[in-house]
Amino acid sequence: MRVVLAEDLFLLRDGLTRTLREHGCEVVASVDNGPALERALAVTDLDVAVIDIRLPPTHTDEGLKAALAARRIRPALPVLILSQYVEQLYAHELLASGEGAVGYLLKDRVTHTAQFIDALRTVAAGGTVMDPQVVAKLLTRSGRRGRIDSLTPREHDVLARMAEGRSNTAIAQGLHISESAVAKHIASIFGKLGIEQSPEANRRVLAVLAFLKG
C-alpha cells in the first residue's frame, strides 16, 4: 500500500513513517506543509493519504483544503485525516461526494497501532471510518435529518458504530446483541434510507454517509 503522509511535527511524522513501513506500507511522500502536500497529491501514485489538518504555513486548514482539491481531481481518493481538531465544515465537504474512502481520527484517541492500521486499510479499500467524537460533532451541525429520523434508537446505535468502522461482530459485542440481530437492523436501515441492493461494503458506506450528512 502506497501512502502519502502529511504531518508537521517531526517526531510524530517519523514515528508514523516507521509504523507504516513496519506494517508493509510504502511511504511514497512524507511532507510537513500544505504546498508540499498539494504537490505530492498531484503527482504521486498512491493508495491512501494520511493528512493532518493544520499544516504550515498558516496552521489552519491546509491539510483539508489540499485533500479536497485532490479529490476534486481524483474522485474517491482515499484520505485518512489524523488530527487534534474536528473541522466540521470541511469534514462535511469531504463526505459530500458520497463516494466514501474517508477517515477521520483524533490523534489523542488512537490508543494502539492496530486501530490506526485497520482504519487506514478500511479507508484505502473505499470504506469510511470516523472517531465517535467526530461523529457526535458532525451530527450537531446537521439540520434536517430526513430519512434518518425514521430510524429507531437501536438502529441509530448500530449505524453510529458502522460510522466508526466496526464490523457486525464488533457491533454485536458492543451493544450486547446477536450478530443476526445486527444484520436485521442493518437491513432495516438500508430499507429506510432507500439504499438499493449493491455490494455490502458499498451499502454500508452509503448508509454511513447519509447518517453523517444528515
Q: Which run of H or of E encompasses 123?
A: helix 113-124
pLDDT in tens, 156-179: 899 888 877 788 998 999 999 999
* Among 48, 17, 190, CA closest to 124: 48
pLDDT (tens digit, 9 = 90+) per residue, 66-93?
998 998 888 889 999 999 888 776 677 7
Contact 97, 75 (CB under 8 A): yes
Cβ distance 174 to 161 under 8 Å? yes
Whether pLDDT at 53 is above 70: yes
What's the pTM? 0.76
